[in-house]
Amino acid sequence: MKSYLAAAVQMNSLPDLQKNLAQAEDLIDLAVRQGAELIGLPENFSFLGDEESKMTQAEAIAQSSEKFLRTMAQRYQVTLLGGGFPVPTEDGKVYNTALLIGPNGEELARYQKVHLFDVDLPDGNTYRESITVLAGVQLPPVYPSKELGNVGLSVCYDVRFPELYRHLSQMGAEVLFVPAAFTAYTGKDHWQILLQARAIENTCYIIAPAQTGKHNHLRQSHGHAVIVDPWGLVLADAGDKPGVAIASIEPTRIEQVRRQMPSLQHRVFI
């Protein structure tokens, strides 16, 4: 593993596939011009807003999203995560799918989100992801990269389930992706502290791309795409506007933290 720059992209995606992909390309270009070699796009990067429209266009969104990720990774010669897009299933629902693509356009890892956001929030908003999304049944993968380190995948609501990240760290993860479309209501209280906790518990870097702002008349995201180091320090924060959070991923920092706080070696209950 080498030292390199990573980028967590922050978007304001809408119910408009082509506009979203154009926005994503601009932000990937911005990240690359700043030197990023590992780039993450947020959950729902290619479409966010109206569920009925999403389901009607699901096949086109899936095909366009995957083609876009392969094209961008090849064009810019980077490793690129699409943090979540709908892939149709045989039963009429979709998998919320995160896809990691290498610089040659090849698929490195794929993960179907297992924890679905079915929640009634105190602000009056209700979310029922399971109405349209089929939960994945496989634990997320860790992609081993000699240059970028061992990269573990997850998506948004997963961040509230620490056992998933402990699995990833047991599998050797050093860098954890948490692409999200975190609600504005929960994000203000929970987003950063959950990410810091997952980083500290597993002595891993966290790269957390995010959605921000209003997506339709009902849905609003918290923003604050961040990169967190293994000690829990926030290295970069994209604020509340579309943009990128960029920071250096340092193998010596992982080694230092794991030497100073060897908690992964001290686990009693497995």
- Looking at the chain, the number of H-run helices and the number of E-run strands are 6, 16
- Active-site option among 37, 54, 66, 113: 113
Helix (H) or strand (E) holding 254: helix 251-260
Question: Are 49 and 14 a contacting pair, CB within 8 Å?
Answer: yes
What pLDDT sits at residue 194? 98
What pLDDT sits at residue 117? 96
What pLDDT sits at residue 61? 98
Helix (H) or strand (E) holding 66: helix 58-76
Per-residue pLDDT of the chain (270 residues; tens, 9 = 90+): 999 999 999 999 999 999 999 999 999 999 999 999 999 999 999 999 888 999 999 999 999 999 999 999 999 999 999 999 999 999 999 999 999 999 999 999 999 999 999 999 888 788 999 999 999 999 999 999 999 999 999 999 999 999 999 999 999 999 999 999 999 999 999 999 999 999 999 999 999 999 999 998 888 999 999 999 999 999 999 999 999 999 999 999 999 999 999 999 999 987
- Active-site option among 37, 54, 66, 156: 156
Annotation marks residue 2 as catalytic = no
Q: Which of 74, 14, 70 is nearest to 44 (CA)?
A: 14
203: how many CB neighbours lie within 10 A of its CB? 25
In SS3 terms, 256-268 reads as: HHHHHCCHHHHCC
Backbone phi and psi for residue 62, each to the nearest 5 degrees, phi listed first: -60, -50
Annotation marks residue 113 as catalytic = yes
Domains along the sequence of the chain with CATH: 4-266 (3.60.110.10)
**Alpha-carbon distances, residue 67 vs 49, 51, 106, 233 (angstroms):** 22, 22, 11, 35
Annotation marks residue 204 as catalytic = no
How far apart (Å, rounded) are the C-alpha atoms in residues 247 and 244?
Answer: 10
What pLDDT sits at residue 155? 98
- Active-site option among 43, 54, 66, 204: 43
